[in-house]
């Protein structure tokens, strides 16, 4: 009878955790999905891009939305579920029947691990595949109408280029400022007055920019005390998709699996032809492929003691509030770590894994504290 009761309790815990996770996953999925729709419509719909193209772009974004939603759904869902069980004295009943907190911990950890593995598959296989198709379709839109990207008073960023755009009227840009960094860390700054966007004859060129009175400054990363300076009455600059926009080439880390990305990083290290800061961008993406999906596992560990501590009254509501607050904090730490890693060259492993490590340490500390009581 004890074995039967134990199995019944275990199945009940799994079912409740999975139910709350599913509801919260749908919530976060809709939040990120609506955000993606708004971003896509803002950039493309006003440029008369066909609705079918926008729908395809949104579809290719689904793996990224799924990968982002899973960890937060695990935290909020588990907190709400376990908080309700504490409020309804179900945890107390389990304890009274001789079950320890590990009886609840094991199903939560196992389910958190399963969610992490499934999320990792999406993040490592479906996400790169979606990015490839997304960038390929987006490039087709750019080739057909470069004005989709050249917007008035806007800033466009890629992994190695920042483009500051002034007023745009028809095919004339009032002011243009470009910051470009090559793989060795050398920088180029181009300042131009009135710039005319022309249709290129070569189909491999995205757009032709006829620069008015351009000034170019070349900064050598190995000679920081000097720079080269060049100006002219006019100049023509051909902009290739791979130079200015996210490409669908084989060296885009977001379009690669973790195995392929690791091989590329090892090759870069052996060749030694790229700067540490440039290499760190690839390492950040590599570690992010693991840290974000397996955040579900660390959140599962944290949810148990938090629910026990704060779930005595209105545990489901308190779990929702605490879960959302921690999700926002975790997301901010991930964004901050990635930004500092790219700009300041901080170690990719620590910047991507530090939020998970902090969550795991806090969860383990609180769990031990709860067990001692």
State how many domains the chain has. Answer: 2
Is the domain of 122 the same as that of 172?
A: no
- Run of H or E including 162: strand 161-165
What pLDDT does 306 receive?
93
What pLDDT does 201 receive?
67
What pLDDT does 113 receive?
95
Q: Give me the domain span that covers residue 212.
A: 152-244
Is the domain of 83 the same as that of 46?
A: yes
Please, which residues bridge with residue 157 across strands? 162
pLDDT digit string (tens) for the chain, length 373 residues = 456 567 888 899 999 999 999 999 999 999 998 887 777 666 666 566 777 877 888 888 889 899 889 999 999 999 999 999 999 888 888 888 777 788 888 999 999 999 999 999 998 989 888 888 887 777 676 656 555 566 677 777 765 778 788 887 777 888 888 888 876 778 888 888 888 877 666 655 667 778 888 888 888 877 777 788 888 888 887 766 555 444 444 467 888 889 888 998 888 888 877 777 778 888 898 999 999 999 999 999 999 999 988 888 888 999 999 999 999 999 999 989 888 887 777 888 889 999 999 999 999 999 988 876 6
The residue among 121, 131, 125, 129 whose CA lies nearest residue 293 is 121
Is the domain of 32 the same as that of 140?
A: yes
What pLDDT does 142 receive?
62
Contact 16, 111 (CB under 8 A): no
Is the domain of 114 the same as that of 179?
A: no
What pLDDT does 114 receive?
96
The pTM of the full predicted model, rounded to 2 decimals, is 0.74
What pLDDT does 245 receive?
47
Please, which residues bridge with residue 37 across strands? none
Is the domain of 130 the same as that of 13?
A: yes
Provide the greatest CA pair distance for the chain.
91
Is the domain of 50 the same as that of 179?
A: no
């Amino acid at each position: 009878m004890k074995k039967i009761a134990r199995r019944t309790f275990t199945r009940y815990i799994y079912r409740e955790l999975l139910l709350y996770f599913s509801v919260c996953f749908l919530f976060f999925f809709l939040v990120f999905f609506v955000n993606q729709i708004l971003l896509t419509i803002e950039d493309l719909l006003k440029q008369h891009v066909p609705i079918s193209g926008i729908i395809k772009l949104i579809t290719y974004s689904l793996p990224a939305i799924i990968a982002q939603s899973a960890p937060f759904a695990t935290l909020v869902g588990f907190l709400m579920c376990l908080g309700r069980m504490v409020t309804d004295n179900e945890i107390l009943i389990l304890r009274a029947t001789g079950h320890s907190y590990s009886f609840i911990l094991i199903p939560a950890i196992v389910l958190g691990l399963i969610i992490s593995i499934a999320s990792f598959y999406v993040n490592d296989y479906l996400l790169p595949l979606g990015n490839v198709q997304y960038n390929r379709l987006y490039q087709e839109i750019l080739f057909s109408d470069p004005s989709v990207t050249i917007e008035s008073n806007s800033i466009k960023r890629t992994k190695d280029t920042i483009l500051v755009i002034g007023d745009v009227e028809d095919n004339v840009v009032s002011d243009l400022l470009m910051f470009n960094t090559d793989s060795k860390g050398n920088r180029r700054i181009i300042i131009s007055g009135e710039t005319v966007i022309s249709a290129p004859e070569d189909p491999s060129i995205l757009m032709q920019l006829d620069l008015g009175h351009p000034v170019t400054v070349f900064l050598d990363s190995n000679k920081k005390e000097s720079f080269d300076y060049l100006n002219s009455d006019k100049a023509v600059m051909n902009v290739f998709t791979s130079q200015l926009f996210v490409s669908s080439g084989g060296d885009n880390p977001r379009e690669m699996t973790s195995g392929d990305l690791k091989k590329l990083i090892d090759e870069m290290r052996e060749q030694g032809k790229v700067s540490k800061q440039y290499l760190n961008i690839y390492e950040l993406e590599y570690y992010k492929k693991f840290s974000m999906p397996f955040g579900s596992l660390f959140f599962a560990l944290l949810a148990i003691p938090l629910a026990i501590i704060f779930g005595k009254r209105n545990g489901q509501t308190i779990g929702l509030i605490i879960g959302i607050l921690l999700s926002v904090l975790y997301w901010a730490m991930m964004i901050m770590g990635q930004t500092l890693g790219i700009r300041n060259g901080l170690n990719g492993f620590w910047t991507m894994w530090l939020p998970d490590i902090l969550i795991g340490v806090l969860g383990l500390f609180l769990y031990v504290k709860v067990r001692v009581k």
